Amino acid sequence: MTVTERLLLLGLLTAVPFAAAAQDVDNITAAYSEDGRYFTEDDVPTYNIREDGTVDWPTYSGFRRYHSECYVCHGPEGEGSSYAPALKVSAIDMDYYDFLDVVANGRTKVTASQNLVMPAFGENPNVMCFLNDIYVYLKARGTDAVPRGRPGKRDMKSEAIREDENACLGD
Ligand code: HEC
């Protein structure tokens, strides 16, 4: 009998689900920041909301970009619509890289009653240059870290973010 089996038998492994839940939260919480952008310990972009409600620049930018490019299908504030899924849920449940992949390459679901089309945005700089912003905004909505509506107080856009945006947009 292995140690794990023995512990299971003794009922001493009940702490495992709690450990797993804690791990999930760690995967959303910002572990470090760089030039006004925040990342989890797995180097995945995430949001950072301070105690007084001030949001990081990317979260604010994501609010704006989401509402110009995605909301027509996915509903205001990532809440979903009868046509397309609630992205505030997807941003939490989906792997970051899968999320990027669907946006870049699109996806089509054909059923007997409906043709659901998620367009490919890979060639659209207004989406691709701001995709991490959109992603972190939706993640913040998914955990209710930001309330519905336009975020009020926000950080300034850092010089590094400005330069990266200009380079991406080809300015
Ligand atoms: C023309 C309508 C439309 C627009 C605009 C649109 N989407 Fe979608 N999206 C869809 C549909 C429909 C689906 C579901 C497709 C499926 O089930 O295969 C989808 C699915 C997705 C998924 C997968 C979600 C999941 O849980 O599996 C992601 C991620 C996504 N969209 C992100 C975005 C982002 C980000 C934007 C804005 C840049 C955007 N979409 C704009 C229609 C749209």
Give the Cβ contact number of residue 77 at 10 Å: 21
Residue 134 lies in a domain: yes
Distance between CA atoms of residues 86 and 41, nearest Å: 26
Residue 10 lies in a domain: no
pLDDT value at position 160?
Answer: 98
Residue 7 lies in a domain: no
- Residue 88 is part of a domain; what is its CATH number? 1.10.760
According to DSSP, residue 149 is labeled S
Atom of ligand 1 nearest to the CA of 98: 29
Distance between CA atoms of residues 96 and 93, nearest Å: 9
32 lines ligand 1 (CB under 6 A): no
pLDDT digits (tens), the chain, 171 positions: 665 566 555 555 544 444 444 446 657 999 999 999 999 999 999 999 999 999 999 999 999 999 999 999 999 999 999 999 999 999 999 999 999 999 999 999 888 888 899 999 999 999 999 999 999 999 999 999 999 999 999 999 999 999 999 999 997
Residue 6 lies in a domain: no
What's the length of the chain? 171
Residue closest by Cα to atom 25 of ligand 1:
90
pLDDT value at position 171?
Answer: 73
Residue 8 lies in a domain: no
Least Cα distance to 120 among 163, 77, 170, 69 occurs for 69
pLDDT value at position 16?
Answer: 43
Residue 5 lies in a domain: no
pLDDT value at position 20?
Answer: 42
104 lines ligand 1 (CB under 6 A): no
Residue 1 lies in a domain: no
- Mutating to test ligand 1, I would choose from 68, 71, 72, 73 the residue with most ligand atoms within 8 A of its C-beta, which is 73
According to DSSP, residue 49 is labeled B
Number of domains in the chain: 1
Q: Which residue segment(s) compose the domain that 131 sits in?
A: 15-169
pLDDT value at position 10?
Answer: 54
Residue closest by Cα to atom 14 of ligand 1:
84
Residue 2 lies in a domain: no
